[in-house]
Structure 1
Amino acid sequence: MNDIYQRLHVAGEAQDETEIIATLAAIKTGKLKNDLRLLNFYREVPVSYGAEVLTVEEHDAELQVHQIQAVVIAHEKLTVLKSSHFRRDVAATVTYVNVEKSRVVLSNLSYALVRADRRMSVRVQLGSAIDASFAAPEVDAVHGRLHDMSLTGMSINVARDPDLPVSQKGELRISLPSGSITVAASLLKVFTLDDGYRLVFEIEPSRAAELSISQYIFQRQVEIIKELKDHPGVFS
């Protein structure tokens, strides 16, 4: 989740935590209206539900959460708290999760900048293997698998470092279930993975390609939400 938020120190690490804990305590006692919501990302899809503060200690707090939120938190062990009473969004480490009872215990609370809030468009991770290739003049074509996509960017996983310069321009071709599309692309960054490399591109799709991408993203969102609702820990 490090690519989703960045922890910040406003008044200082200890002072910030004390302030956050005091705010949660005030929400619990009713001195402040409970507008608390949690935010997580599951396969790049945002999951955000309200939460109730059950107990507050010196360095941690126990919350009653939505069961689907608990499923995602159990997977990530992290969450972001949002409330109009906080100076900024709050990042928290999750030290305990009970999906059946929909309860979590949070610690290591600090203010944070949620980078995902600044995304220009919805992004989703892929559920099935989708072939992708990047081609540019006087450069060997790079072949891999699509990792995630949005209307403004895509990333692909490849086995070997293609040794491309950042800002290299070319075309990305991906094989969606509805048919192959080609979009203009520019390389933004390269990440090293345990089993290869991830290339992140900014894209400029045509109207036709944009429609195909939008349809696929919507379909993936539906699939991801269904996957969460069908989790064995979630009661119907």
Structure 2
Amino acid sequence: MSNLFSDQFFKDYKEEFINHFVEQSKERNDCILSEGTIRTLATNIYDALFFSVSIEKFKKLVRNALDSHVDFIVCLTKSSMLLIKDYIDYILKNSLSFENLKELVEYTEKFLVEAEEVYSVHIEKLRKEVNNLKKEKDKEVGEAFTRIFTLLKDKEVPIMLITFYKEVPVSCKALIDNVLESRIFVSFETCSYMKAFYDSSFIYLKITNAPKPIKAKKVDIFPEKKTIILEDFSFEEIPQERRKFVRVEPEEKFVVTVVKDKYSIKGIVADISIGGIGVFFKTKPELSLGDKVEVNFILKGTPLSIEGEVRYVIKQGEVYRVGIEFKLQPKQEEIIAEYVMQRQFEILKELKMM
């Protein structure tokens, strides 16, 4: 480094830098330090960078600040940019060489890069700490579930297994046969709909007096033994139970035309209830949350034209799924309600015959 920082500018500018730093910190809502502490921090940074010219001392300041949960990188960057701006004015006013400016910019870039590297190391350290805490928490939760399941096994308390087949809820009573580390082996009692569990990735358990249902990942199922293996447990509400209306998947996927003003697009039904309809589209539809639309389709030979409102538009694999809430007329509600009920019986009958 040349004698750049022996320039009178840097001796006179110290207070200005500190004031800029303090002002920048005030604009940040996450700053929890007092103004006096911020001024001290800014003073130490300026001294390290422009008086002692010690990058190592500067990096130590950054590490100490981050360890104390103080992130001043944004304040430092903005204050440094203001310093460069004011130094340009100083050069022009005093007809000085622009080589000094080049050297200052290179030096500023260097210490900002060093600060970002320290910051990255700190973030990685925090990430590892969070992961370790999560592992410890997961271990504690896993041990708690093991104790619960062991007690249920020893007392031979029945549990309820729940899954969904073509959007229709299916439940079967079961007993826990074995608890092995993080897994449980569950045997079905009399269950007419056991085959609904074959293709389920996740299954819910309902236990008497439990605060919530327990979501579990299905590891394997042995139909001949009427046994299923489950793991990865967590207390979670069953999403389908939060719905106001029962949905069903139609046996035959019929075409649905959605109209918004002069725009229309054809899709294929995903599921339907008296509350609304899910529709799959091959291409992204020109629809947004809250759009008022008209939904046209034929249900069991009856043409229906229903007012609706778009509730969501999401990408699902290779297609787009749109959820539309119905605003039904009494006759339309009667038609769809009858269809949904009939379809539920068909699905349950289909399960029994599988």
TM-score, normalised by the number of residues in structure 1: 0.86
Shift of 1:172: 0.8
Moved more, 20-29 or 67-76: 67-76
* Aligned match of 2:153: 28
Once the two structures are superposed, what CA deviation does each residue of 1:84-137 show, in whole Å capped at 9, x if it has no partner? Answer: 243321111111201222110111112212221111010111210212111122
Please say if residues 287 and 313 of structure 2, whose CA atoms lie closer than 8 Å, have aligned partners that are also in contact. no
Q: Distance in 2 between matches of 1:96 and 1:45?
A: 22
Q: Secondary structure at the match of 1:214?
A: helix
1:47-84 Cα shifts (integer Å, max 9, x gaps): 01111111112211111125555422220132010112
Matches within 5 A, 1:15-164: 15-30=140-155, 34-65=157-188, 66-137=190-261, 139-164=262-287
Matching residue of 1:191: 314
Q: What RMSD, in angstroms, separates the aligned Cα atoms of the two structures?
A: 1.9
**Equivalent AA in structure 2 for residue 49 of structure 1:** C
Give the C-alpha shift of residue 19 in structure 1: 1.7
Contact (CA 8 Å) 2:168, 2:246: kept in 1 or not?
A: yes
Corresponding residue for residue 218 of structure 1: 341
Structure 2: any 5+ residue segments left out of the alignment?
Answer: 1-133
Give identity over the alignment, percent: 22
Give the number of the structure with larger relative contact order, counting CA–CA contacts within 8 Å between residues 6 or more apart. 1
Residue type at the aligned position of 1:28: K
Stretch deviating more after TM superposition (56-65 or 15-24):
15-24
Once the two structures are superposed, the pairs formed by residues 197-212 of structure 1 within 5 Å of their partners are: 197-212=320-335
- State the one-letter code of the partner of 1:157: F
Structure with higher Rg: it is: 2
What is the one-letter code of the residue matched to 1:220? R
Q: Deviations over 1:162-201 (max 9, x none)?
A: 2222110021112101401122110111122344321111
- Structure 1: where are the runs of 5+ without partners? 1-8, 232-236
Q: Write the distance in 1 (CA, Å) between the matches of 2:319 and 2:214.
A: 33
Alpha carbons 2:193, 2:352 under 8 Å: kept? no
* SS at structure 2 position matched to 1:75: coil
> 1:70, 1:103 within 8 Å by CA — same for their partners in 2?
no
In the alignment, the residues of structure 2 paired with residue 223 and residue 173 of structure 1 have an alpha-carbon distance, to the nearest angstrom, of 24
1:181 aligns with one of 284, 292, 304: 304
8, 14, 22: which is aligned to 2:139? 14
Output the TM-score relative to the length of structure 2: 0.58
Q: Is the 8 A contact 1:40 1:69 kept in 2?
A: no
Task: Work out the CA distance in 2 between the residues paired with 1:211 and 1:126.
Answer: 17
Is the CA contact (8 Å cut-off) linking 1:23 and 1:85 kept in structure 2?
no
